[in-house]
Amino acid sequence: MSGRLEGKIAFVTGAASGFGRGIAEAYVREGARVVVADLNAEGAETVASALGDAALAVRCDVTSMSELTAAFNATLQRFGRLDILVNNAGTTHDNGPMLDVEAEEYDRIFAVNVKAIFLAAKVVVPHFREHDGGVILNVTSTAGIRPRPGLTWYNGSKGAANTITKSMAVELAPDRIRVCAIAPVMGETALLERFMGMPDTPENRAKFVATIPWGRMSRPSDVAGAAVWLASEEAEMMTGTILEVDGGRCV
């Protein structure tokens, strides 16, 4: 039985760990070949090696047009084309008063969480137009829908990413390019302590879990499941959607 993404080529940023790694692994299980792109070159190599011939590791700073272009060219050299782009790489500031965030950190957050979507579109959309369409998935956050205190600038970056997703979807639909976002609630990833603004202890986790009706944080497998479906032919009518993977947090 073939997978839901059989024969597809996907480029996943921030794929050395967390949600990105989960997406890359799920895509390969579903028959896709995947470019594991990450600033952490060693981590990307580790993930790609575990996935075998179906994966290619590339070091990529998503805030750099030249590095994104080089990574895209490596994708074409290895696999010949691209069908799916997952803008998953993200960063945050520590949970705390908004004025404690320095301008340099603010700029970095918007560069990774927002500008990278713009740069990737400049690189990938012309290719999709030439090849009768494609899928772009932006991994955003419930922070852009129902913000938590202490993460003001991160929340703003994810709100921008959600709005950009909808606008891209409308503009690119005539080109048969679907654009959707996945908005997870706080997840069990390497950024967790920064989101919490306190040590990751069972007691501190419980304070945040209490705000999620389903009773737990999101996991890479939750986001990966959404990413598989949204990139598949089953979701052919889905574009401009912000899919909340949040256990009821945004209700």
Residues annotated as part of the active site: 154
Q: Give the integer Cα–Cα distance in Å for 55 and 70.
A: 17
- Asked if residues 135 and 85 have their Cβ atoms less than 8 Å apart, the reply is yes
Determine the residue type at 173.
A
Q: Give the integer Cα–Cα distance in Å for 140 and 177.
A: 19
Q: Give the integer Cα–Cα distance in Å for 59 and 79.
A: 17
Q: Give the integer Cα–Cα distance in Å for 185 and 169.
A: 23
Q: How many helices (H) and strands (E) does the chain have?
A: 9, 7
Contacts 24+ apart (CB under 8 A), 192-199: 192/217, 194/92, 194/93, 194/94, 194/95, 195/92, 195/95, 195/151, 196/95, 197/94, 197/95, 197/96, 197/150, 198/95
CA 167 to the chain's CA centroid? 17
